[in-house]
Amino acid sequence: RVAWQDWYTTVDREFHALQKQCKTVFVAGLSMGGTLALRIAEKHPDDVAGLVLVNPATQLPWNAHFAPLLRHFIPALKAAVGSDIAKPGVEEHTYDVTPLNATNELLKLCTNVNAALDLVICPVLLYRSAVDHVLPPSSVQTVLRQISSEDISERVLARSWHVATMDYEKEELFAGSIDFFGKHAGSS
């Protein structure tokens, strides 16, 4: 019952709340969270000190493009999208199904974000999993090709899958993010 604009409004509200409390604000996100982080950077180019993106969703798999039609006939697919994690025994808490209205809204969000990626000018640290069973490689390629930032670092995660923040290289990812924040905190 919510649209992508509702997701963005929530993130934007929290971004502004952080601005009231902090001199410098960075934005980070995994998958759809990365898409929303990109949207914040597009809308507030002078206020985002930097972005940390982990497998951002800007392009969805080919079968997601059936959601606008299928959602009129079935509410959800029985296959869930979560837990794409290489490390045994680690599970992401997700829905048991993939709601097609939400998938449709994510497609709309991607379209809107992709249309304005050139407005992203802040430093970017982008983590990309070498193996990602959720998003196609074109998702990261779109970001790297279209953003206008002059400071872009891409790091490939060789052992972690889509949910890299819970996978083998999570400590490297977190430590690299903290270093990135420290490097760019004084330049904003």
The Cα 133–Cα 112 span in angstroms is 24
- Active-site annotation holder among 84, 129, 162, 177: 162
Which pairing describes strands 50-54 and 124-129: parallel, antiparallel, or unpaired?
Answer: parallel
Residues 6+ away with beta carbon under 8 Å from 27: 15, 37, 40, 41, 48, 50, 51, 52
132 has catalytic annotation: yes
- Active-site annotation holder among 84, 129, 132, 177: 132
96 has catalytic annotation: no
Q: Please answer whether residues 42 and 119 qualify as being in contact, where contact means their C-beta atoms are separated by less than 8 angstroms.
A: yes
162 has catalytic annotation: yes
Token code pair at residue 28: 């980070």
- Active-site annotation holder among 31, 129, 139, 149: 31
Q: Which residues are tagged catalytic?
A: 31, 132, 162
